[in-house]
Structure 1
């Protein structure tokens, strides 16, 4: 039993110790986020209250908010509740952040354009950072499962960026309904039911503790849930016969208990309670006004004495959400409608809440109520509350008597949900459009929205099920629409790897006549068959880059419109034009950072990370992966949220951090249906295979690399594009495990298949490396030479260094050590630069065997770079240009304090003491 202020908390010593430690660390300048989960009545709110008291005693400022079921559709209602005590600091925010943040609260002048969700979230983060300048801040969020989506997105954004801030976030949510924005990354503390000893002790502390058989029944039916124990004990004290009645499901029984006092209350009190339940947490004046002349403040007293509500600061709050539910459900349908009608009548100054109450008061369809919600959605959209707008439009559609209007509102709701970054929701809304309209334009737009939504998850087949029929129907009459649908479909088709979808897309692409903008055709050809359509896609890529309408004087294509930059960069990556992909995707990401959209930022950042990884820019790759994962989690892009950790796991494996790599893969693919996501499945196999190679477990490595090819009737790639890049690694593992015959069967089948198209220089080098490793001794050297012949191979330094290392080992075994030394030196330089420790050690061992003793390597600028995280490199370079911490934070979505925290760590690593020395210290670091 743990003391907490004036109360004793029974059976929660473990939880209280952890939360107290969290407060102590915060008071000392630390920071951590925590989600407290548990079932209804588990005592989460009690723990939060105790934590708040502990924090205040430690001199920590506490900011609180609570989710409300009735306000979950009001844009940023929870965020406004949380930040209201510190909004006086908003004047110090950068102008764009201040406008965005105040705009979502309706506190601007109303003349600004719609707020950007990323700027809103950044404004909240900066405001909290400024508040923390005056002392540590504890954020407490209760009932997060009922929080509006806009607030949840901001809280998730803030939670990921609290490093270096004396700000701690503690949220409570029902264990079955943890908001997905907070479920994957933030540490969770699960509040379990009390054990029997603690449950009995809690009963003993009740005013009228039950005894005998009644006590046994209470302990059995409460099942360790503290709220149930307290309420059942109260019910037994009021009427001992309650303990002898038959059992009910726990929630039903609790609701019945909460409603048990209602018939005994005066009619006026019951009326007030119903109004408060309909309004959720509400102002006392609003409820009294809605009740009419017959109600007075004294009518609340019976409800307060019964422990149903409390009144704080002229607000009515139910003691527990289940009480509100019990009160609301105990009323008849007509009574509930009357209550909502009365509330709508008095909320004249609050059009959004009025619209929702008006909608709840109507029966069936009602165009006037639907129009009110549509207007509310428009206001929410102007404030950047896209999730609230989508919710309002969804409800407006249900109220719409005209099916055509209903379908139009649903399509708009899907669009708002897309902007809010909730793809699964988009899909659910879009799917309903087909059931209520046969309008081809609306159906096509809904299908495109649904296809987009599923394309960024891992439900690729579902995405194509929407997109391909649209393309087929439009290919003759609306070729532009058809090409748009096919271009969108090419991405899930690539990720799924299913041949039937790719063939269907390619067949439809051929039916679309030439268009003014051929970027969609270019991507569809490259993504669906980069081998057979390589030359054609390259020609289109050149045409798009040099389009006279958009081409720059430099001719590098980086001033193309954003959509073309993204498509061109993706095409270049698939075709192994890696340097071009880095240039185009880097320009696209810079464009997006100036006007951020979470979903687009995540997609482009991951594509850029893949190109950077292949080009040997591993430090920059890690920075892009960080950005991709953060924004993917915020936007609900499941494909990126899985793919980014897989690439990070690959980097960890290649650097020798093998256990961390395996753990990262396991976490990334948890709950993912990999057989339907073949591109991700292949990348997961490679990450695990690379970890096995780094550990020297060649048998396990071979099994992983072999798994990216099928077995019967002839080895074929699991994924039509990704698998073949691991041919040489498969061959290297086969040689060390005596499985060369099986590996040769894979290689021979691959060479026959690849001969049907045009290989890139990169793929050609990989095939020749594999052939050299598996060849007879007299035939190996020509394949090694071919693998190194094309100067373009320098674009992929790690792969080229692997060829040199393999070739040097082959030469040394044939007593040609002198010839091997230069190859080993070049390979070692690359491995050391990349930090690929296992390969570095292997190259050093080979150099010693070749008669060269590698000396102690002096500390170089590359060593300095290796000591910095990717984010620190980015911050240092921005600071060196003269940007302030606030300006840097706005560019990379961090608070100014966090930027300063990183600079504090960067200076000693660079051997400097001031910001003014950054430019010179960074001069020698590679880009």
Structure 2
């Protein structure tokens, strides 16, 4: 420690745009009306900072800060008196009243404060802004107030805050550890940085351990939490200790009670009292839901554990281990037993037992719990090589659990010790896979190539996995030469398993114990060898433009996937099917991969499976279904710390929004995708997002803007889009270029589209090619080409692309004074756009119909209605719920998860302004009776992963 400071106050607030928007709305409304708002969040998340920001931002009148004043006489202010005080302070001006930590007021004062908040309308133009701790926001005193919640900062925002505080002085490894320890809590992040000297921050000296020590946690939490008596303190410490060997933030209340009985024979809070006695209430820091106990605040939980004395901590762990031993919970028991040891000295026998059980696939345990066990085994291991190996294993398990923020510190710990080449190779493999999902893909490529080199001699199969994951990184970066070089037959020997270009990145080999079995040898191994070999050959041929040689091996990969049950080979099958244009096979393999990943508890693979499902729906022209999968995939990717995968889902959402939403929605989706794509070098996601922006321009008639955007993507040059994506955007470019009088550019792009269509990998390409040729053809040939394009659409399916062709054909017919034929084509286009929810294209079609004299009918069809605020997927869900279906029944019908239904239903309630399912049924019923609501495409059909 040193007195030298390494942290400075952040110059701006990070990651609170939604909360500031809500506060700004309150402030902006005060000149004409009253308002009230409740800010809540755990300690350290910035409630006080936001109150101070609101006070500085308010310019329309005075700001009054209220705090809990001492009351020696016991007298309590009433709501009426408080309102009189506020009126007097306001005078003739609007008044902003800020009350920080309102939960610290005594009970009567809180009641008066809340009653005053509810009667502000009679007091003038007064805004009341309260902040309370997260565990008190739902208390009866505050339950009726509108709430703005503060969550931990997202990794990207926390990283920006850290850079702001340190002027980007932190070494990369130090930066990773600080962010992992802070868990998105700004106050804790600042406290951790304050601990470090400049030499420690820059990585020139080892970091102190533990990094988040008791003083830092206490500082961030605003003090050390305590219970009212010894039993409450034991309860708090027992729950905090039990969570360390739990898969989530809560623990079994029965386990806690059993451990407490071993600590001291006293009645437990929440248990049924003996006759004539009363149970002790739970401490305010805890919540009991069913049979699960948890802390309201993770920071408070960590502070309770860190501030406890060593002897009571060890005693609690010993009691928990004894309680778990009788229940047969082997891995948690061993963990608690290891934490009950005295002193930091190595314990080789305990380390061996922990590592052995963590590696035993027959022991039921999550990847996250295995990661904790490996890390604890590493701490107890004496030799450096053994420590490096076990920290690497812990990182691999954290990666499989979808926790890259935990994998990175384990890798840093592994690097501190010398280790055999194979162990260093596996560490680089894990590091590369972490970066592939959540970091610059150029860095991932180099780490994975290094891993392949280190593993080549001792672990050739692992080397092949690393090499193929390196191809994934090159694919994501749009680096065609690197991708081809990695896929070449001269790759490291023993290419028998692993990832494939365009397929999902894998967990590290040897660490997914539930898949470690004899089936990895013999027939299954041969099956894997053939699948990877075929995928390599097909991918390389495709990238070299030898389409005639690519089809057969890729079809073999798809065929083998039909008999698979593991998520990784299924995702390879889905990737190959997409390359072949077999969207039905891709949907089937993706859905089975999703089910397999969920069954295995692999948080890391779930968002990737949803990514392939979303791509398959996009390729089939089913934008609402693609959007549903991408929304769920985005949430899963963010939960598992996969920002790169999240960028791909955001790009899909941008493409879906480009046909059905307002320009600002499209712009927001595109900006969100490009934010990560540009920083991490994700050329594929960037190309998809830019295509979405251009397609939105084209849909709104801005052909020149669309042609300019798309020209950079599809025409030869340094700015050309991703090699696997730009051809998909060529039809949009040809249409925009023709409208912008750039026919020569359109013809140049058409040559590439013809070769792509001949390969047959895109079911829409042949029809799109005929449409593009019609746009460029003389009048005597265009008619036949448009008809040929529509016939090809009938074969390929897909409402959106067929409707686009019908729209262009209808425009062409109208301009050649063939109104009857034009009306028929345009009417079919309008119906197609409405079926697939392409609102902006439907509006363009209505304009064409009005030009033909169909104005009255078209106006009725396009009149905005209450239900027209909903997206097609939201409308489907609203109809099913209105018919009495439960969320689970809706999920089964639409082949999506119940989480997706819950998410969309909240959006429906907000969009329609309803508060119950009964109100929703009434709104939908009234719309049906009035003939307002249109049914989306496939309303009577199941949608989702399977046709």
TM-score range, shorter chain: 0.5 to 0.7
Q: 2:323 aligned with 1:349, yes or no?
A: no
Counterpart for residue 540 of structure 1? 553
Do the aligned residues in 2 keep the contact of 1:868 with 1:906 (CA within 8 Å)?
no
Residues 377 and 393 in structure 1, CA contact (< 8 A), matched pair in contact too: yes
Cα distance change of structure 1 residues 684 and 382 upon mapping to structure 2, 3 Å threshold: same
SS of the residue corresponding to residue 500 of structure 1 reads helix
Structure-2 separation of matches of 1:487 and 1:35: 43
Aligned pairs (5 A) from 1:433-444? 433=414, 436=417, 439=420, 441-444=422-425
Change (3 A) 1:697 1:475: same
Q: 1:826 is paired with a residue of what secondary structure? A: helix
Distance 1:647 1:503, change over 3 A: same
**Structure 1 residue corresponding to 2:531, chosen from 519, 523, 526:** 519
Partner of 1:907: 921
Match of residue 101 from structure 1: none
Q: What CA distance in whole angstroms lies between the structure 2 residues aligned with 1:745 and 1:16?
A: 51
Q: State the distance in 2 between where 1:820 and 1:524 align.
A: 49
* Aligned: 1:178 with 2:178: no
CA distance in 2, matches of 1:824, 1:391: 62
Other-structure match for 1:499: 480
Distance 1:166 1:535 in 2: 67
- 1:652 is aligned to 657
Conserved? CA contact 2:367–2:401, under 8 Å: yes
Is 2:714–2:730's contact at 8 Å kept on the other side of the alignment? no
Equivalent residue number for residue 641 of structure 1: 646
Report what 1:457 is aligned to: 438
Quickly say closer, same or farther: Cα 1:366–1:506, change in 2 above 3 A. same
Equivalent position of 1:49 in the other structure: 103
Superposition RMSD in Å: 6.3
Partner of 2:252: none
The alignment partner of 2:589 has SS state of helix
- Shift in Å, 1:536: 4.7
Quote the residue 1:566 is aligned against. 571
Cα distance in structure 2, aligned partners of 1:697 and 1:281: 59
The reply on whether 1:685 has 2:699 as its aligned counterpart is no
**Contact 1:493 1:528 (8 Å CA) reproduced:** no
What is the CA–CA distance in structure 2 between the aligned matches of 1:442 and 1:516, rounded to whole Å? 27
Summarize the Cα distance change of 1:508–1:473 in structure 2 as closer, same or farther, 3 Å threshold.
Answer: farther
> Which whole-Å CA distance do the structure 2 matches of 1:653 and 1:668 have between them?
14
Distance 2:888 2:39 in 1: 22
- Corresponding residue to 1:804 among 788, 806, 812: 806
Q: Which residue of 1 aligns with 2:728?
A: 725
Unaligned regions of 5+ residues in structure 2, if any?
1-19, 30-35, 52-98, 115-130, 166-186, 191-211, 220-233, 243-281, 287-294, 322-332, 497-525, 909-916, 928-936
Give 1:756 shift: 11
Instruction: Report SS of the residue matched to 2:527.
Output: coil
Distance 1:667 1:759, change over 3 A: closer
Task: Indicate the larger mover: 642-651 or 376-385.
Answer: 376-385
Cα pair 1:398 1:406 within 8 Å, conserved = yes
Match among 617, 621, 632 for residue 616 of structure 1: 621
Q: Determine the structure 2 residue equivalent to 1:90.
A: none
Displacement of 1:885: 5.5
Matched, 1:405 2:386: yes
C-alpha separation in 1, matches of 2:662 and 2:240: 51
Residue of structure 2 in register with 1:416 after alignment = 397
Contact kept in structure 1, 2:41 and 2:47, CA below 8 Å:
no
Please state how far the C-alpha of 1:494 moved relative to its aligned partner.
Answer: 2.4
1:659 offset after TM fit, Å? Answer: 1.3
Per the alignment, do residues 741 and 488 of structure 1 end up closer, same or farther by CA in structure 2, a change over 3 Å counting? same
Give distance in 1, aligned partners of 2:398 and 2:601: 17
Verify the 8 A CA contact 1:355 1:373 in the aligned structure 2.
no
- Secondary structure, in 3 states, of the residue corresponding to 1:361? coil
TM-aligned CA deviation for residue 689 of structure 1: 1.5
Give 3-state SS (helix, strand or coil) of 1:631's partner: helix
Partners of 2:816 and 2:901 in 1: CA distance:
60
Deviation at 1:839, TM superposition (A): 1.7
In the TM superposition, what are the counterparts of 1:80-119 in structure 2 within 5 Å?
A: none
CA-to-aligned-CA distance 1:692-711 (integer Å, 9 cap, x gap): 22333333222321232466
Query: Conserved in 1, the CA contact under 8 Å of 2:731 and 2:772?
Result: yes
Match of 2:552, SS state, is helix
Match of 2:343 in 1: 361
Change (3 A) 1:347 1:361: same
From the superposition, tell whether residues 722 and 544 of structure 1 become closer, same or farther in structure 2 (CA, over 3 Å).
closer
Distance 2:617 2:106 in 1: 46
Find the aligned partners of 2:285 and 2:836 in 1 and give their Cα distance: 63
Q: What residue number does 1:762 align with?
A: 764
Q: CA deviation at 1:801?
A: 2.4
Partner of 1:579: 584
Measure the CA separation in 2 of the matches of 1:801 and 1:367: 69
Structure 1 residues 350 and 700, CA, compared in 2 at 3 Å: closer, same or farther?
A: same
Summarize the Cα distance change of 1:347–1:602 in structure 2 as closer, same or farther, 3 Å threshold. Answer: closer
Structural mapping, 1:244-283, within 5 Å = none
Change (3 A) 1:879 1:372: farther
Runs of 5+ consecutive residues of structure 1 not aligned to the other structure? 1-11, 22-27, 61-137, 145-154, 156-164, 193-224, 229-250, 259-274, 284-310, 330-335, 551-556, 914-920
Q: CA deviation at 1:652?
A: 2.2
From the superposition, tell whether residues 459 and 375 of structure 1 become closer, same or farther in structure 2 (CA, over 3 Å).
Answer: same
SS at match of 2:581: coil
Residues in 2 aligned to 1:434 and 1:764: alpha-carbon distance in whole angstroms = 53
Change (3 A) 1:912 1:565: farther
Would the aligned equivalents of 1:340 and 1:361 in 2 still touch at CA under 8 Å? no
The alpha-carbon deviation at position 34 of structure 1 amounts to 5.7
Q: 1:825 to 1:645 in 2, by over 3 A?
A: same
Determine the C-alpha separation between the residues in 2 that align with 1:692 and 1:383: 53
Superposed displacement of residue 371, structure 1: 6.1
CA contact 2:395–2:410 (8 Å) conserved in 1: yes
3-state secondary structure, aligned to 2:698: helix
Report the counterpart of residue 833 of structure 2 in structure 1: 831
1:779-858, aligned counterparts within 5 Å? 784=786, 787-788=789-790, 790=792, 794-849=796-851, 855=857
Structure 2 Cα separation of the partners of residues 167 and 599 of structure 1: 38
Greater RCO (CA < 8 Å, at least 6 residues apart) = 1
The equivalent position to 1:673 in structure 2, one of 669, 673, 678, is: 678
**Distance in 2 (alpha carbons) for counterparts of 1:694 and 1:51:** 56
8 Å CA contact 1:471, 1:485 repeated in 2: yes
Deviation string 1:593-636 (CA, Å, 9 cap, x unpaired) is 56653332211112212221332323322321221122111111
Task: Go from structure 1 to structure 2 and tell me whether the alpha carbon gap of 1:835 and 1:811 turns closer, same or farther (over 3 Å shift).
Answer: same
Does the 8 A contact of 1:685 with 1:707 survive in 2? no
Deviation at 1:519, TM superposition (A): 3.0
2:743, 2:776 within 8 Å by CA — same for their partners in 1? yes
Distance 1:872 1:419, change over 3 A: farther
